[in-house]
Amino acid sequence: NAGVTQTPKFRVLKTGQSMTLLCAQDMNHEYMYWYRQDPGMGLRLIHYSVGEGTTAKGEVPDGYNVSRLKKQNFLLGLESAAPSQTSVYFCASSPPDRRETGELFFGEGSRLTVL
């Protein structure tokens, strides 16, 4: 009963390095999301996907790229990490019938530090 799994859980990067965060869900959900959570601020949507092969920008997409090649996976990439991208990243998913009810299923989070 894995639900939504994120890897890695923790990562430290140097400015300018690249990395990819992987999100995998085993619930056959259509919708997937990447959020970042910073102290004193609400969750902010980075990118989202409404189905395999589709992606769209959220509120704060700059500096990030995403891909949804398989329905169960949603990858978040940082091409050239900056200290401003130090944050906790959450992946979430939802089935179409839950989208309007706002019930998202979240992964455990990935804590990224950029030095």
Partner 1 sequence: GQNIDQPTEMTATEGAIVQINCTYQTSGFNGLFWYQQHAGEAPTFLSYNVLDGLEEKGRFSSFLSRSKGYSYLLLKELQMKDSASYLCACMDSNYQLIWGAGTKLIIKP
Binding site for partner 1 (CB under 8 A): 40-45, 58-59, 90, 99-109
From the number of C-beta atoms within 10 Å of its C-beta (0-12, 13-18, 19+), residue 46 rates as buried
**Integer Cα distance of 31 and 73 in angstroms:** 11
Would you say 31 or 114 has its CB closer to partner 1? 31
Least Å distance, CB 63 to partner 1, is 20
Specify the residue, 54 or 80, whose C-beta has the smaller distance to partner 1: 54
Length of the chain: 115
Both tokens assigned to 17: 């390095």
Measured from the CB atom, the residue of 28 and 42 that comes closer to partner 1 is 42
Half-sphere exposure for 99 (CA within 13 Å, toward CB): 12
Q: How far is the CB of 16 from partner 1 (least distance, A)?
A: 29
- Closest CB 58 distance from partner 1, rounded Å: 7
